[in-house]
Amino acid sequence: MARTHKAWAVRTARDRTEAPARARLLDAAEAVFTRLGYGPATVADITAEAEVSRAGFYVYFASKEEVFRVLAARVRDAFLAAQEVPGVDTDDVRAVAEASVGAFVAAYARHLPLLGLLEQQARTDPDVAELWREIRERPVHRHARYIRRLAAEGRARPLAEPLTLARAVGGMCVEFARRTAERPGIHQDAVRDVTALYLHLLGAGPARRE
C-alpha cells in the first residue's frame, strides 16, 4: 500500500475554477443512482439533487452515461488514494498498514451502494466494464508491488506470494467494509483487526495497540 499515486485527472482551467459545481453534480449523481437505480435515474433528477441547472450539468458532462462513468473512475481513484498515507512515516510499516486499511475500509463502505450498480452496468457497457476491472485490479496489483518491495528490502517476510496476499487482504477489507457500512460504530475495531491480520500475513509483526 505504497504512496506513489498522483492525481488521476488533469483538469481544464474551467474545471479548476468551477470544481465545486462539478463535485456537487458528482455527489448528487451518486446519491440519485444509488437511490433510484441506473435505468430510472435522469439528468433532471441529478440536477435537482445538486440544485444546478441542466445547462450547468452539460458544462461538465455530455450525458447520464458519461457522469456514471466519471463516478466509476472516481471510485477507482478513491481506492487508489486509500493506499497513500499523507502525514504517516512511510518507513513505518505498521503505521502505513493501519492508515491504508482504515482509508480503504472507509472508502469502500462509503461507495458500497454504487459498487453494486457498477458491477451490473459492467455487464452491458464496455467502458464501465473496463473501469470495473480497474476498480478491482489496480489497487491489488499496486499493493502486491509494495509487498514485493518490502520483502526485497528485508522489512517483511510475506507468508504467501505477494499478489495472493494482496488479494486476501483486499478481500478482508471488503468484508469488514460491508460490516461497517451496516454498523459504523465498529469501524475502529474492524481496522484494528484487519491490520493485525495483515501484518501477520506480511511477516511484519503485530499491529500496535493503544
Among residues 75, 30, 65, 36, the alpha carbon closest in space to that of 50 is found at 30
When comparing pLDDT for 44 and 6, which is higher? Answer: 44
**Helix, strand, or coil (residue 9):** coil
pLDDT at 204: 85
Q: What is the pLDDT of residues 124-161, one digit of tens each?
A: 999 999 999 999 999 999 999 999 999 999 999 999 99
pTM here? 0.82
pLDDT at 205: 58
Cell 486476501 identifies what position?
168
> In what helix (H) or strand (E) does residue 143 lie, and over which residues does it extend?
helix 126-152
Asked if 104 and 173 touch (Cβ cutoff 8 Å), the reply is yes
Identify the sign of the CA torsion 93, 99, 104, 109: positive
**What average pLDDT does this structure show over 178-196?**
95
Cβ partners under 8 Å of residue 170, min gap 6: 104, 139, 140, 143
Q: Does residue 26 have a pLDDT over 90?
A: yes
pLDDT band at 19 (very low <50, low <70, confident <90, very high): confident
